Amino acid sequence: MILVFKFRNKGLMNLAAIIALSCIGILEWQTGYQLSFSVFYLLVLCFFALHKNVTRRQTIFLSIYTTVMALVIELFSSEPFSDKWIPYGNAFIRLTGYVIVTSLCYDLKVKHENVVELNDRLNNLNKEKNKIIGIAAHDLRNPFAAIQTISEMLMNGKRSKEELKFLDIINRISKNSLRLVDNLLNVSQIEMGVLQLSIQQHDYIDFVQNIIVFQQLLADNKNITIEFDCTFEEIYFGYDEAHIEQVLNNLVMNALKYSYPGSIITIRVSKTDMGVLTEVIDNGVGIPGNEIGNLFNFFQRTSAKATSGEKGSGLGLSICKKIITTHGGSIHVKSVEGKGSNFYFYLPAAFVFSKFANN
C-alpha cells in the first residue's frame, strides 16, 4: 500500500523532508560517525517519493541535499580516512543509490495512481453499462410477458392444428426471451450490488417438493423422472424463497437440458455442519473437467451439448452463485464427462425445527 500523509503544498513537503533528513543528520553527527545512517536517509527519501504530491524534481533535490549533508558530516568527523577522496567516492555512491531507489519509488507511485485512475474509470463505465442493461431489460420485459400471456389465451380457444402450432412456437420463444431478459435484469442488479434478500422462515422440504411438482411437468416432455431423496419431513430455517426458487429451477432445468430421455434426476436434501445441503444429480452428458473452473462465471458455456438441442445464455449459474453467496452459502459442482453431474449448494441454517420423515 502506498503511504500518504496530509501535506499538499510542495514547499511544505520540501520543508518537512529537509527537517526529517536534518534530524537524522544531527543524530549521525552526534554518534561521531560510528554508525551508518544511510539506510535511515533512504527510508525517509522513499517515504516522501511515494507521496502523491511529490514530483520527480523534488526527489532528486532531496537526494542531493541528503548526499551533501552526509558528505559534510564525513569531512568534519573525527573518523580518519586513508585517502582524502574516500568521502567524495562515498558521496557519489550514495547519490547514485538514492536517485535510483527514489526514482523507482516515484515510478511505482505513478503506476499505482494510473492503475487507480483506470480502475475508477472502468468502475464508472461498468455502472453505466449496468444501468443501460437494467433499463433495456426492464423495458423489454413487459412486451415479452404480454406476448406470452396473449399466446396462452389464444391457445385455450378453438384453433386449428396449424394455428396451435404457430401459437406454441410464439409462446416458447416469448418464454425464452422473457427468461433471458430476467437474467439480464439479475446481472445488472448483481453487478451494481443491489441484490436484496428477504429472509424469512419457511419449511424447506415443502418448498423443494412444490418446485419438483412444477419441474416434473417439464420433465415429462423428455420422459425424465425427478426423484426426491430426503430423510426429513420438515426443515424450517431462514432463506429468501423467491431467489432460492430461482436457483433450484435453474439447476433442475440445466439437469433436464443435459439429461437423456428416460433417465432420472435426483434432488437430495440433507443437513450438515455447514447447514442445509441441496444436491441436483443427473446421469446426463457431464462436463469436461477443464471447463468446471469457469462454470460459475458470467457468460460461460461448456462444450457439452444439450440432449435435445436446448440453448442457454451462460448467465444462469453465475446468478445462482451470487444468490447463494449472498445468503452466506456456497455452490459447487462434481461432474464426470459422459456420466452426469452433481450441482450442490449449502445454505447456512439456524434450525427452528426439523422432523424426521415417517419411513
Q: What is the DSSP letter of 45?
A: H
Count of alpha carbons within 13 angstroms of residue 272, beta-carbon side: 14
Domain check: are 100 and 80 in the same one?
yes
Domain check: are 304 and 339 in the same one?
yes
Q: What gap in Å lies between CA 69 and CA 44, rounded to an integer?
A: 14
Place of cell 459442482: 333
Let me know if residue 4 belongs to a domain.
Answer: no
End residue of a domain, out of 171, 191, 211? 191
Residue 31, domain extent: 10-120
End residue of a domain, out of 191, 214, 243? 191
Domain check: are 269 and 176 in the same one?
no
Domain check: are 166 and 205 in the same one?
no
User: Which residues, in sequence order, are bridge partners of residue 341?
Assistant: 335
Let me know if residue 158 belongs to a domain.
Answer: yes
On whether the pTM is more than 0.75, the answer is no
Domain count of the fold of the chain: 3
CATH number of residue 214's parent domain: 3.30.565.10
Domain check: are 346 and 211 in the same one?
yes
pLDDT digits (tens, 9 = 90+) for 223-257: 999 999 998 888 999 998 888 988 898 899 889 98
Let me know if residue 153 belongs to a domain.
Answer: yes
Domain check: are 236 and 346 in the same one?
yes
Say which residues have a Cβ less than 8 Å from residue 70's Cβ, sequence separation at least 6.
25, 28, 37, 38, 41, 90, 91, 94
Helix residue ranges, H only, 156-235: 161-191, 204-219
Domain check: are 337 and 219 in the same one?
yes
Q: Which three cell numbers stand for residue 297?
A: 462465471
Let me know if residue 5 belongs to a domain.
Answer: no
Domain check: are 178 and 257 in the same one?
no
Of 261, 355, 349, 351, the C-alpha closest to 309 is: 261
Q: Would you write out the chain's pLDDT as a tens digit for each of its 359 residues? A: 334 444 455 667 778 878 888 887 777 777 765 446 777 888 888 888 888 778 888 888 888 888 888 888 777 765 666 677 777 888 888 888 888 888 898 889 889 888 988 888 887 777 666 666 655 665 566 676 777 777 777 777 777 777 777 777 777 777 767 666 666 666 666 666 666 778 889 899 999 998 898 888 888 888 999 999 998 888 999 998 888 988 898 899 889 988 999 999 999 999 988 889 999 999 988 888 787 777 777 666 666 666 665 655 556 788 888 889 888 999 999 988 888 999 999 998 765 556 666 54
Let me know if residue 73 belongs to a domain.
Answer: yes
Let me know if residue 3 belongs to a domain.
Answer: no
Domain check: are 112 and 208 in the same one?
no
Let me know if residue 1 belongs to a domain.
Answer: no
End residue of a domain, out of 87, 120, 153? 120
Domain check: are 226 and 343 in the same one?
yes
Q: What gap in Å lies between CA 312 and CA 301, rounded to an integer?
A: 8
Count of alpha carbons within 13 angstroms of residue 299, beta-carbon side: 2
Domain check: are 133 and 114 in the same one?
no
Domain check: are 241 and 282 in the same one?
yes
Let me know if residue 84 belongs to a domain.
Answer: yes
User: Which residues, in sequence order, are bridge partners of residue 335?
Assistant: 341
C-beta contacts of 190-199 below 8 A and 24+ residues apart:
190/319, 190/322, 191/126, 191/130, 192/127, 192/130, 192/131, 192/134, 195/243, 195/322, 195/323, 195/326, 197/240, 197/243, 197/326, 197/327, 198/240, 198/241, 198/242, 199/238, 199/239, 199/240
